[in-house]
């Protein structure tokens, strides 16, 4: 006989969960009572806020590719998980969120700390469960992990009443205890993985006959570990590749076919390439509005091929001439087989070479004149100095095994632009939902997933002040590989930039003071450094890199630096402001 709480722990062990992030409370206490019995198999990380626990689980998932798990009590504990659940939903991050719920007899009575968390999260979860019967726990957990991690990954909520956690259950034979797998009801959503062969053949024919083909690689390529297939396909078909924010690392950015990032803060030559291309092949991206700008003017000359594991994405924002529902890895493998049949044609064609040369020429013409490269002639520490130094450090051969976790805002876009991304899952950021405060807890999760790597955090002073209490968790867990770089400009910088460019410099609600971050870090027992001179940046990074523990560096940068290029919201990506 097990309790429901023990059954929850057994299920987590069965799913090969090793780390869970959470905070206890009344309605989840039976689970926490059972947890010490699994101390050797389940490592619980006590976070300082449930939002931090959720983002930490996301960071763990994004770094490792495994399902992240967070746990909270009912009511406010559960509602504090809403932001990370929404974030996981938008960015297709596999996440299982477990919440305690008041006892079933109290459900619906406005009991203390009772909140209908399942109702609240229905629009932002792949699926959710309210478990009132302890006998269901084992099966529900099996289903939840399966749903979270298959097809298009995403968050699943499991709300377990306190009495279900306390009840005693026989382990049923279908619980997997005797080795028998639990039968899963796939319902209507068994993911389609292979893609339709005729559509794949059509897509390849379009691409090899194109004069100006372009590949747009998104999160799906990373999620399905299709980077090798993408590289082979792009090289075989000789097609240049652009990568979305979440596609960064799908193709190394030092590869001759890699062009960079499109969209609102994309390069001029990349957005021009989109507007000029005749066939656009989107593999695993969802045509987010930050990529497309005004969708009706996006890629006006292109035949669009869209591959996505989620059928509802095909044609959602941009019309697809060829839509293929399938897993990026499997579809790319099939396309690779097909493209080999066209090999003689591909090899003898000069069009692709001319096309790539044309884009590179655009790049040469625009890039030197753009503010993102042109550092102002000033003694003031610029954000660009921070990125240049980190980029040098990451590129150095002695520095392997790293992740870079960014928050949301200007610093995030500079990181996307100015760091040369080379490895899948090395770039961990929040894209779709954009919750400030993501970075520090997500880095905690990534650090536990990758204990032998260095986790660089780039965060603004605004986002840092939303979740910096997780420094206490980092300290308590003795996490030694998190290096936090605060790009501190004393503003909510991206909003200030929009106010400067589009709202007559009315800096409403954006000037931001803060504590001394060096002292704050030291108060948490973490080494803090302040850097306010350009000449000290490299030394600070060297120190942080060598120092055998977590560090916080406060880079006090020019306050009103802007992210360029920028496409004003709602405008065509052909209309870029470059300085």
Partner 1 sequence: MTHTLIALVRDRPAALNRAVSLFRRRGYTIQQLLIKRTEQPGVNRITVDVDAENIDQLVEQLRRLVDVLTVRKVTGDSTGDRSPFAGPHYWQADGANDHVED
Any catalytic annotation for residue 50?
Answer: yes
CA atoms within 13 A on the CB side of 69: 21
Q: Tell me the pairing of strands 2-3 and 168-169.
A: antiparallel
Instruction: Report d(CA 163, CA 260) in Å as an integer.
Output: 53
Q: 29, 192, 336, 472: which one contacts partner 1 (CB under 8 A)?
A: 192
Instruction: Report d(CA 239, CA 353) in Å as an integer.
Output: 9
Q: Determine contact, residues 556/550, Cβ cutoff 8 Å.
A: no
Any idea of the CA torsion for 351, 357, 362, 367, to the nearest 10 degrees? 150
Q: 110, 178, 179, 187: which one contacts partner 1 (CB under 8 A)?
A: 187
What's the closest the beta carbon of residue 152 comes to partner 1, in angstroms? 8
What's the closest the beta carbon of residue 183 comes to partner 1, in angstroms? 14
Beta bridge partners of 530: 554
Instruction: Report d(CA 487, CA 410) in Å as an integer.
Output: 9
433 binds partner 1 (CB under 8 A): no
Q: Determine contact, residues 281/324, Cβ cutoff 8 Å.
A: no
133 binds partner 1 (CB under 8 A): no
Q: 16, 37, 41, 122: which one contacts partner 1 (CB under 8 A)?
A: 122
Any catalytic annotation for residue 380?
Answer: no
Q: 128, 227, 410, 497: which one contacts partner 1 (CB under 8 A)?
A: 128
323 binds partner 1 (CB under 8 A): yes
Give the active site residue among 162, 248, 329, 483.
162
Interface with partner 1 by CB under 8 A: which range of 10-18, 116-124, 338-346, 480-488? 116-124
Instruction: Report d(CA 240, CA 256) in Å as an integer.
Output: 8
User: Quick count: other Cβ atoms within 10 Å of Cβ 390?
Assistant: 24
Give the active site residue among 29, 113, 453, 469.
113
Q: Tell me the pairing of strands 155-161 and 127-131.
A: parallel
126 binds partner 1 (CB under 8 A): yes
Q: 53, 277, 324, 561: which one contacts partner 1 (CB under 8 A)?
A: 324
Cβ proximity to partner 1, 107 vs 371, nearer residue: 107
What's the closest the beta carbon of residue 254 comes to partner 1, in angstroms? 35
Interface with partner 1 by CB under 8 A: which range of 304-312, 339-347, 363-371, 501-509? 304-312
What's the closest the beta carbon of residue 169 comes to partner 1, in angstroms? 21
Q: Determine contact, residues 82/95, Cβ cutoff 8 Å.
A: no
Any idea of the CA torsion for 404, 409, 415, 421, to the nearest 10 degrees? 60
Any idea of the CA torsion for 423, 427, 432, 437, to the nearest 10 degrees? 170
Any catalytic annotation for residue 113?
Answer: yes
Instruction: Report d(CA 103, CA 106) in Å as an integer.
Output: 5
Instruction: Report d(CA 342, CA 498) in Å as an integer.
Output: 48
Cβ proximity to partner 1, 330 vs 384, nearer residue: 330
Interface with partner 1 by CB under 8 A: which range of 50-58, 119-127, 261-269, 524-532? 119-127
Q: List the interface residues with partner 1, window 137-156 (CB under 8 A).
A: 147, 152
Residue 135 CA, chain-centre distance (Å), reads 35
Cβ proximity to partner 1, 125 vs 410, nearer residue: 125
Any catalytic annotation for residue 139?
Answer: no
Instruction: Report d(CA 320, CA 314) in Å as an integer.
Output: 7
What's the closest the beta carbon of residue 203 comes to partner 1, in angstroms? 9
Angle, to 10 degrees, between the axis of helix 227-237 and the axis of helix 197-209?
Answer: 40
Q: 46, 105, 183, 198: which one contacts partner 1 (CB under 8 A)?
A: 198
Give the active site residue among 112, 420, 503, 560.
112
Instruction: Report d(CA 101, CA 81) in Å as an integer.
Output: 14
183 binds partner 1 (CB under 8 A): no
Q: 310, 453, 500, 558: which one contacts partner 1 (CB under 8 A)?
A: 310
Any catalytic annotation for residue 112?
Answer: yes
Tell me which residue of 138, 179, 146, 174 sits closest to 9, measured CA to CA.
138
Q: 37, 119, 256, 376: which one contacts partner 1 (CB under 8 A)?
A: 119
Q: Determine contact, residues 162/169, Cβ cutoff 8 Å.
A: no
What's the closest the beta carbon of residue 144 comes to partner 1, in angstroms? 10
Give the active site residue among 229, 494, 541, 564.
494
Residue numbers annotated as active site: 50, 112-113, 162, 494
List of residues contacting partner 1 (CB under 8 A): 118-119, 122-123, 126-128, 130, 147, 152, 185, 187-190, 192-199, 202, 310-312, 314-316, 321-325
């Amino acid at each position: 006989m097990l309790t429901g709480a023990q059954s929850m722990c057994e299920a987590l062990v069965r799913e090969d969960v090793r780390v869970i992030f959470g905070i206890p409370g009344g309605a989840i206490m039976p689970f926490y009572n059972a947890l010490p019995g699994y101390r050797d198999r389940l490592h619980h990380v006590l976070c300082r806020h449930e939002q931090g626990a959720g983002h930490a689980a996301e960071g763990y998932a994004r770094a490792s590719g495994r399902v992240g798990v967070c746990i909270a009590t009912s009511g406010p504990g559960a509602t504090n998980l809403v932001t990370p659940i929404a974030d996981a939903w938008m960015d297709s991050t596999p996440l299982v969120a477990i919440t305690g719920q008041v006892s079933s007899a109290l459900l619906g009575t406005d009991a203390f700390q009772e909140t209908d968390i399942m109702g609240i999260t229905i629009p932002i979860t792949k699926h959710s469960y309210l478990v009132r019967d302890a006998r269901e726990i084992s099966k529900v957990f099996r289903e939840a992990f399966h749903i979270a991690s298959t097809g298009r990954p995403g968050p699943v909520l499991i709300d377990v009443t306190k009495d279900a956690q306390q009840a005693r259950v026989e382990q049923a034979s279908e619980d997997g205890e005797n080795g028998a797998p639990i039968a899963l009801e796939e319902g209507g959503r068994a993911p389609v993985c292979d893609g339709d062969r005729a559509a794949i053949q059509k897509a390849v024919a379009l691409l090899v006959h194109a004069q100006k083909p372009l590949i747009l690689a998104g999160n799906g390529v990373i999620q399905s570990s299709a980077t090798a297939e993408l590289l082979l396909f792009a090289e075989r078909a000789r097609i240049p590749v652009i990568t979305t924010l979440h596609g960064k690392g799908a193709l190394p950015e030092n590869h001759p076919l890699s062009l960079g990032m499109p969209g609102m803060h994309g390069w001029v030559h990349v957005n021009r390439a989109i507007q000029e291309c005749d066939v656009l092949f989107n593999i695993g991206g969802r045509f987010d509005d930050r990529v497309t700008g005004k969708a009706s003017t996006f890629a006006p000359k292109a035949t669009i091929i869209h591959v996505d594991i989620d059928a509802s994405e095909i044609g959602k924002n941009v019309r697809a001439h060829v839509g293929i529902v399938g897993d990026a890895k499997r579809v790319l493998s099939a396309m690779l087989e097909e493209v080999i049949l066209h090999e003689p044609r591909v090899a003898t064609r000069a069009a692709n070479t001319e096309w790539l040369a044309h884009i590179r020429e655009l790049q040469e013409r625009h890039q030197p004149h753009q503010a993102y490269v042109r550092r102002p002639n000033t003694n003031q520490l610029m954000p660009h100095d921070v990125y240049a130094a980190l980029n040098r450090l990451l590129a150095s051969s002695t520095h392997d095994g790293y992740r870079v976790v960014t928050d949301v805002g200007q610093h995030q876009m500079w990181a996307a632009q100015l760091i040369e991304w080379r490895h899948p899952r090395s770039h961990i950021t929040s894209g779709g939902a954009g919750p400030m405060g993501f970075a520090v807890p997500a880095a905690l999760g990534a650090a536990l997933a990758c204990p032998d790597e260095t986790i660089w955090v780039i965060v603004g002073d605004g986002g840092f002040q939303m979740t910096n209490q997780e420094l206490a968790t980092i300290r308590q867990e003795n996490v030694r590989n998190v290096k936090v770089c605060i790009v501190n400009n004393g503003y909510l910088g991206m909003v200030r930039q929009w106010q400067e460019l589009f709202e007559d410099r009315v800096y409403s609600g954006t000037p931001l003071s803060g504590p001394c971050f060096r002292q704050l870090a030291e108060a948490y027992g973490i080494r803090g450094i302040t850097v306010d001179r350009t000449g000290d940046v490299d030394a600070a990074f060297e120190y942080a890199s060598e120092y055998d523990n977590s560090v916080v560096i406060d880079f006090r940068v020019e306050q009103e630096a802007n992210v360029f290029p920028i496409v004003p919201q709602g405008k065509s990506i052909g209309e870029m402001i470059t300085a």
